[in-house]
């Protein structure tokens, strides 16, 4: 018999760290964005007007075998709540890819069924949005059978390119087209010649981390302002989250923050995470005055080289199908969103949402 306990206070959440980390390592969904550190820091920074709904699943011996990392949020129109909806921790206003339930290997079917039954029987909500679940996960494969006649639908939400890394840098470049290889060599050679060299700096000291993150925010914002868009770090609470998580990940050897420095100035930045011997590219930025030198592309390839030299098995670009990614790899993963309706209001909302996106496609 499985039992479910609801965790709805931050104090209880904080006490879960050790058991959460142990279970994540035993699961098939072990990724950086499901770590206790990432999820707890997200809750600290974005908990306003939300309710914590962590569901912890235990077997008959009171051993933790599953976690549903959820919270209750509200959709409002003109200040009036129109929907109560469940969603994963770690989602908006930041980006977290490859989310999922955290379940002990071999216990996925029974545990996921217990979670779904609990959601429908014990909690009042209109809509449940389970976002960015890998379509390769067992959740995606088991969900239809577990849901039965309950209404839901799934759709592809993100495409995430990645590079399986070889053991030698030479083999990586051999996998690229001749044109791409020559372009990378030419860009690097021209930058070296024009500015009499450059260097790659990694931030490894906690004392200077806030300053380094501010430089990242500035370069990221400049990059997007050049094309008249707002960057992802524009909000103060988002900046606070990333400063906090950078300090935490630095202590755990999970942060890799790179800068390309030219003539004493930071021209480009790459904000990445190391986890399970993989490198995850989260965000980057560069000054528009360096755009012609393609400093972002140069730094990306230097970081990939560094990952290979350090023996990493993969470079995950995460979400987005930008051209520079497709030039470096044709490998990709897909994440999906699962929408579960539990009221007439939710069905109307999903219908309007579907019509809206259909109209956008035909504009």
Q: For the domain that residue 255 is a member of, what is the CATH number?
A: 3.40.630.30
Rounded mean pLDDT of 50-56? 96
Averaged pLDDT for residues 338-349:
92
Mean pLDDT of 275-302: 95
Q: Specify the pLDDT at position 195.
A: 92
User: Omega into 110 within 30° of 0, i.e. cis?
Assistant: no
Please write down the long-range contacts of 289-296, taking CB distance under 8 Å and 24 or more positions apart. 290/262, 291/226, 293/187, 293/190, 293/191, 293/194, 293/267, 294/187, 295/191, 295/260, 295/262, 295/267, 295/268, 296/223, 296/268, 296/324
Q: Would residue 317 count as lying in a domain?
A: no
- Determine the average pLDDT of the residues in 98-120: 97
Instruction: Look at residue 357 and tell me whether its pLDDT is greater than 80.
Output: no
Shared-domain flag, residues 112 and 176: no
Same-domain pairing of 211 and 350: no
Q: Establish if 225 belongs to a structural domain.
A: yes
Band of pLDDT at residue 78, cut at 50, 70 and 90? low
The answer to whether residues 91 and 40 touch, using CB atoms and an 8 Å cutoff, is no
| Least confident range of 112-116, 192-196, 282-286, 351-355 | 351-355
Q: Does 153 lie in the same domain as 176?
A: no
305 pLDDT exceeds 70? Answer: yes
Range of 36's domain?
3-157+335-362
Domain assignment present for 134: yes
Does 35 share its domain with 92?
yes
Share of the chain above pLDDT 90, in %: 85
Question: Are residues 142 and 195 located together in one domain of the fold?
Answer: no
The reported pLDDT for the residue numbered 358 is 77
Q: What is the mean pLDDT of residues 8-29?
A: 97
pLDDT band at 356 (very low <50, low <70, confident <90, very high): confident
Asked if residue 289 is part of any domain, the answer here is: yes
For the chain, the domain total comes to 2
For strands 127-134 and 332-341, give the pairing.
antiparallel
pLDDT in tens, 161-208: 999 999 999 999 999 999 999 999 999 999 999 999 999 999 988 889
Please check whether residue 263 lies inside any domain of the structure: yes
Same domain, 134 and 174: no
Enter the tokens of residue 40: 């707890």
**Residue 91 backbone dihedrals phi, psi, to 5 degrees:** -90, -150
CA distance 351 to 219: 40
**pTM more than 0.85:** yes
pLDDT, position 76: 78
Please check whether residue 323 lies inside any domain of the structure.
no
When pLDDT is averaged across residues 68-79 and rounded to a whole number, the result is: 86
Q: Is residue 94 located within the same domain as residue 232?
A: no
Res. 140: pLDDT tops 80: yes
Rounded Cα distance between 245 and 260, Å, is 22
Of the pLDDT bands very low, low, confident and very high (cuts 50, 70, 90), residue 70 is very high
Residues 234 and 307 in one domain: yes
Residue 298 has pLDDT above 90, yes or no: yes
Say whether both 127 and 182 belong to one domain. Answer: no
Is residue 300 over pLDDT 90? Answer: yes
339 found inside a domain: yes
Mean pLDDT of 76-99: 89
325 in a domain, yes or no? no
Do 21 and 140 share a domain, yes or no? yes
* 175 lies in the same domain as 146: no
Whether residue 93 sits in one domain with residue 29: yes
């Amino acid at each position: 018999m499985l039992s479910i306990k609801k965790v709805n206070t931050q104090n209880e959440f904080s006490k879960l760290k050790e058991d959460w980390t142990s279970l994540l390592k035993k699961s098939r969904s072990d990724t950086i964005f499901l770590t206790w550190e990432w999820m707890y820091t997200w809750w600290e920074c974005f908990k306003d007007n939300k309710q914590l709904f962590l569901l912890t699943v235990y077997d008959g011996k009171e051993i933790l075998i599953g976690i549903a990392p959820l919270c209750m949020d509200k959709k409002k129109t003109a200040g009036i709540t129109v929907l109560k909806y469940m969603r994963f921790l770690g989602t908006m206003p930041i980006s977290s890819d490859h989310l999922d339930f955290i379940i002990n290997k071999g216990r996925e079917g029974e545990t996921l069924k217990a979670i779904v039954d609990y959601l429908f029987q014990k909690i009042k909500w209109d809509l449940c949005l389970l976002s960015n679940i890998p379509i390769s996960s067992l959740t995606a494969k088991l969900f239809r059978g577990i849901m039965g006649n309950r209404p839901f639908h799934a759709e592809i939400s993100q495409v995430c390119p990645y590079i399986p890394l070889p053991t030698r840098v030479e083999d990586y470049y051999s996998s690229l087209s001749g044109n791409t290889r020559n372009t990378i060599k030419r860009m690097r050679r021209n930058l070296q010649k024009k500015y009499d060299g450059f260097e790659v700096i990694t931030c490894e000291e906690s004392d200077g981390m806030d300053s380094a993150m501010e430089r990242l925010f500035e370069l990221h914002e400049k990059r997007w302002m050049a094309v008249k868009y707002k960057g992802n770090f524009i909000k103060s609470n988002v900046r606070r989250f990333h400063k906090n998580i950078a300090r935490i990940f630095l202590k755990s050897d999970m942060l890799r923050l790179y800068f390309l420095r030219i003539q004493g100035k930071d021209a480009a930045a790459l904000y990445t995470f190391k986890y399970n011997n993989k490198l995850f590219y989260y965000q980057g930025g560069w000054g528009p005055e360096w755009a012609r030198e393609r400093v972002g592309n140069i730094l990306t390839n230097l970081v990939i080289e560094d990952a290979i030299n350090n023996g990493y098995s993969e470079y995950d670009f995460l979400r987005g199908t930008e051209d520079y990614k497709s030039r470096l790899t044709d490998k990709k993963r897909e994440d999906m969103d699962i929408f579960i309706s539990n009221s007439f209001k939710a069905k109307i909302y999903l219908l309007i949402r579907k019509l809206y996106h259909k109209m956008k496609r035909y504009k």
